[in-house]
Amino acid sequence: MLNSGPPESVCHSLTVDVEDWYHVCGAEILPDYRRQTRVVAATRSLLELLRGQGSRATFFMLGEVADAFPDLAPAIVADGHELASHGWSHRLVTGLTPAEFRSELERTAAVLKQQTGCTPLGFRAPRWSLDRRKTPWAFEILKELGYRYDSSLTPLAAIGDPNGPRVPHLIMTSQGSICEFPPLVAQSLLGNLPVGGGWGFRSFPYGMIERALTSYQLAGVPGVLFVHPRELDPDSPRLPLSLIKRFLAYGPRTGSGERLKKLLANHTFKPLVELLDRVPLYPDTSL
Ligand SMILES: [Zn+2]
C-alpha cells in the first residue's frame, strides 16, 4: 500500500446487501420462505442503528426485494444513504449469460428509479461472483450502463482471488475504467482473512477488525465493511444447509450490532459513491 495524505482524512465505507434471510446463494427459494420475510424489519432496525450513530452507508438493493416492498428503498434514501444495485434475483453472475446479467441490472435500476428517482451507480454481485477471467463481459456491461464502480471482487481464497488487490483500483473496459472496491481483509500467515463482513466480522476478535481498519487508514485507503440485514436479526429462520454453510450464513449474530456501533463511533464512514473522487486508485496489474 502507498501512503497518500494524512490518515485522519481517510473515510471508510459501510455497505449493506439488502436481501432476506433465505437469499443464500445456491439454496432453493421455496414459496413458504417468502411468507416468512424479515428483510423490511431487519433493514429498518439497521437504519435506526445508523441514525443513532449519525452514519451513512451504501445499500446494495436486491431488485426483487425492492419490488416486493416498495416502501423500503425510499426509506433508505430518506435517511441520506446511497442506493446501489445487488442485481435482481440473487443468482450468481457466473451462472448468467451476458443478456441475463444486463436484464438483471436494467430491471433493478428501473424499479429503484421509479421508487426513489435515484439511478444506482454501484453494483455488488451476489457472493462476489464477478470474475475477471470468467465474466470480463460483466465489467463491459456495467460501464456501458453508466455504473461508476463495482464491489464484487474479493481477495479471499475459495470465493475470490487471494492474490487480487486489497485496495480500491481501476478496471479497464473498452469504454474506459470502472472503480473496484474490494472488502476489508486482514493479512495473516494463512492468507487474507475476511474481517470486513460475513462470518469473519461476526466471529473474529473485535480487535482484529479494528486493527485491519486502522492499517488501511494508515496506508491512506478506505476499508470496506459489508453486512446483511439477517446478520443483525438473530431470531430469523435458517435454511436447512450443511453445518459449514449454516455457520457461514447464520453463525454467531448477537454481537454484530454492538461491533458495528463501535466501529462507526471510532472511524469515519461515507457511502462508496462519495469516496470515488477521494481515494487513490491504483491501476490493476493482476491480469
Ligand atoms: Zn447477497
Average pLDDT over residues 154-178: 91
Q: How far is the CA of 93 from the centre of ligand 1 (A)?
A: 11
Q: How far is the CA of 90 from the centre of ligand 1 (A)?
A: 6
Q: What DSSP designation does 118 have?
A: P
For the CA atoms of 138, 110, 104, 222, what is the dihedral angle to 10 degrees? 50
pLDDT, tens digit, for every residue of 48-86? 999 999 999 999 999 999 999 999 999 999 999 999 999
Q: How far is the CA of 39 from the centre of ligand 1 (A)?
A: 12
Q: How far is the CA of 281 from the centre of ligand 1 (A)?
A: 25
Q: How far is the CA of 126 from the centre of ligand 1 (A)?
A: 4
Average pLDDT over residues 121-146: 95
pLDDT, tens digit, for every residue of 190-245? 899 999 998 888 888 999 999 999 999 988 899 999 999 988 887 888 777 777 77
Alpha-carbon radius of gyration of the chain? 18
Q: How far is the CA of 17 from the centre of ligand 1 (A)?
A: 5
Average pLDDT over residues 24-29: 74
Element holding 216 (H helix, E strand):
helix 206-219
Q: How far is the CA of 20 from the centre of ligand 1 (A)?
A: 9
pLDDT, tens digit, for every residue of 242-279? 777 776 776 676 778 899 999 999 999 999 999 998 77
Q: How far is the CA of 62 from the centre of ligand 1 (A)?
A: 8
- Residue 40, Cβ neighbours under 10 Å: how many? 17
List b or e across 88-103, with b for residues whose CB sees 16 or more CB atoms inside 10 angstroms: bbbbbbeebeeeebbe
Domain ranges for the chain, please list them: 7-283
Fold of the domain spanning 7-283: TIM Barrel (3.20.20)
Q: How far is the CA of 21 from the centre of ligand 1 (A)?
A: 10
The dihedral through the CA atoms of 231, 246, 70, 67 has a sign that is: positive
d(C-alpha 41, C-alpha 237), whole Å: 14
The percent of the chain in helix, strand and coil, each rounded to the nearest 5, is 40, 15, 45
Q: How far is the CA of 196 from the centre of ligand 1 (A)?
A: 15
Q: How far is the CA of 66 from the centre of ligand 1 (A)?
A: 14
Q: How far is the CA of 3 from the centre of ligand 1 (A)?
A: 32
Q: How far is the CA of 11 from the centre of ligand 1 (A)?
A: 24
Q: Which residues surround ligand 1, an ion (CB under 5 A)?
A: 17, 19, 126
pLDDT, tens digit, for every residue of 218-228? 888 999 999 99
All cell numbers assigned to 147: 455504473
Mean pLDDT score of the chain: 89
